[in-house]
Structure 1
Amino acid sequence: MDLQLRGKRVLVTGASQGIGAGLAEVFAEEGADLVLTARRAGVLAELAARLSAAHGVKVETVAADLSRRDGAAAILSAAGDVDILVNNAGAIPGGDLWQVDADAWRAGWEVKVMGFIDLTRLYYARMKAQGHGVILNNIGNGGENFDFRYVAGSTGNAALMAFTRAIGGASLDDNIRVVGVNPGPVATDRIVRVMKLRAKESLGDEDRYPELMAKYPLGRAASVREIADLFAFLASPRSAYTSGTIVTVDGGITARRSIGG
């Protein structure tokens, strides 16, 4: 299937690792030109060189810190206009209400919640002026599964779900689509860190984390590729009628909930 993304200009935040790097790979394979942002300039440069050589696309990098109040404006200034914005940067810390103190809570939300909102505000206006655009938000199924042990993330993700629906519900009036994706557990370094912490708490040994991973659907987390391929489709004209909605990809974890828990 031709996703008709060749020559499109795609901005991916948090592109230096995990899902962000996977997103960059998939869009490059589809022939899109990339602007990759993250805080680690060296890692971005290595990724950009590899993708450009492998796929013959233009890849620019912007070292930026969305925890700064001017971070979103700095990205816009450096990157300029794009056809597709993928808000991906940020990882809200795990823990309960007392394990995540006020400073950690605010720091996590500054990047993932306010970073998404600030970039959307800026790029929506640019996309409206250019007459088209797509904004994709990588949120997370914690926004649908309220977790005492992930209270800052559950709350932040729920806010981003509401934000995505609120903006995307009317955005087609401006020929812009706004869509959210809620991955469940994904096979990245981050999920290993989270599961090690939970294994230490529940089993007394962090090295037993594979026992917890085995309880996921199919006995595993999703691959990065399984998530990134969906983003590429949603970004494409093949999905031109999709806006103001959230697509959950978690192997049925959210749907499996029942009255009995």
Structure 2
Amino acid sequence: MDLGLKGKSVLITGGSKGIGKGIAASFLKEGARVGIVARSEDALHEAKGELGGDVHVYSADLTDQSERHRVFDQFLSDFGSIDVLVNNVGGSSGGKTMETSLDQFREAFELNYMSAVHFSQLAVTNMREKGEGAIVNISSIFGRESGGKPTYNSAKSAMISFTKSLADEVIKDGIRVNSVAPGSILHPTGNWQKRLDENPEKINKFVEDEIPAGRFGRVEEVADVAVLLASERASWVVGATLNVDGGQSRSNF
């Protein structure tokens, strides 16, 4: 299926590994031009080599507002405009709420949530000039229910709410905003792979008990949904957050 993304300019945060790199690969297969952002220059250049295609890399600390401005301005300088923004960068820290400092909650929100809000504001300003564009936020099933760390859950929950509110605000400008909520995804640089290596019996039991499909998800399965949402093939999908989890989520909405 031709998704009509050939030649489109796509910016992906957290694009040097895992789900972000998988999303970049899926856009490149569709003929898009891609920019990926991450903190590590080494990881970015390694990803660029693996991805091939028309890829630009940008090293930045995305918890820093001025760094986000710098990256976006450089992207526009390199690509001319932006057609698709994928807010994928994220991470978690801390433990139970009473064991986690307020600073850790603030840091989680700055990375997972505020970076998405800020990049979206910057992107919408440019997209409005063209009268079209798409934003895809990578949330989590734990933005809808308990399961991950409270710092992460809270930030991803805020992202889901933000997705709907921004979508309703900018659809009249021809800009669609949606979100993907992955479940447990296995990839070489992720926490699930580390846990599986450390305790295969425990993690295999987790999969058996918690994921109805009976296996971890693959990066490509998240990436393909993100790319579809960014395309005109999903033209009537506005403000949605789609679970990509093999049935893992316990929510029914």
Q: TM-score, normalised by structure 2?
A: 0.89
Report what 2:55 is aligned to.
Answer: 59
Distance 1:143 1:18, change over 3 A: same
- Which amino acid in structure 2 is aligned with residue 71 of structure 1? E
- Which amino acid in structure 2 is aligned with residue 91 of structure 1? G
Match of 1:209 among 184, 203, 210: 203
- Equivalences for residues 205-244 of structure 1 within 5 A: 208-215=202-209, 216-244=211-239
Report what 2:65 is aligned to.
Answer: 69
- Which amino acid in structure 2 is aligned with residue 116 of structure 1? A
- Equivalences for residues 134-153 of structure 1 within 5 A: 134-147=134-147, 150-153=149-152
Report what 2:173 is aligned to.
Answer: 174
Q: Deviation at 1:208? A: 3.1
Gap regions ≥5 residues in structure 1: 200-204
Partners of 2:247 and 2:101 in 1: how far apart? 32
Q: Secondary structure at the match of 2:177?
A: strand
- Equivalences for residues 83-98 of structure 1 within 5 A: 83-93=83-93, 95-98=95-98
- Which amino acid in structure 2 is aligned with residue 214 of structure 1? E
Query: Does the 8 Å contact 1:195/1:213 carry over to 2?
Result: no
Distance 1:244 1:173, change over 3 A: same
Gap regions ≥5 residues in structure 2: none
Query: Does the 8 Å contact 2:184/2:192 carry over to 1?
Result: no
Partners of 1:88 and 1:256 in 2: how far apart? 22
- Which amino acid in structure 1 is aligned with residue 240 of structure 2? T
Indicate the larger mover: 79-88 or 103-112: 103-112
Distance 1:58 1:193, change over 3 A: closer
Partners of 2:96 and 2:238 in 1: how far apart? 33
Q: Deviation at 1:20? A: 0.5
Q: Deviation at 1:132? A: 1.2
**Percentage of pairs with the same residue:** 30
Partners of 2:177 and 2:251 in 1: how far apart? 27
Report what 1:101 is aligned to.
Answer: 101
Q: Secondary structure at the match of 1:214?
A: helix
Partners of 2:43 and 2:35 in 1: how far apart? 14
- Which amino acid in structure 2 is aligned with residue 50 of structure 1? E
Aligned length: 246
Q: Secondary structure at the match of 2:6?
A: coil
Partners of 2:231 and 2:251 in 1: how far apart? 30
Report what 2:122 is aligned to.
Answer: 122
Report what 1:202 is aligned to.
Answer: none
Query: Does the 8 Å contact 2:181/2:242 carry over to 1?
Result: yes
Query: Does the 8 Å contact 2:109/2:155 carry over to 1?
Result: yes
Q: TM-score, normalised by structure 1?
A: 0.87
Partners of 1:2 and 1:111 in 2: how far apart? 33
Q: Deviation at 1:67? A: 1.2
RMSD of aligned Cα (Å): 2.2
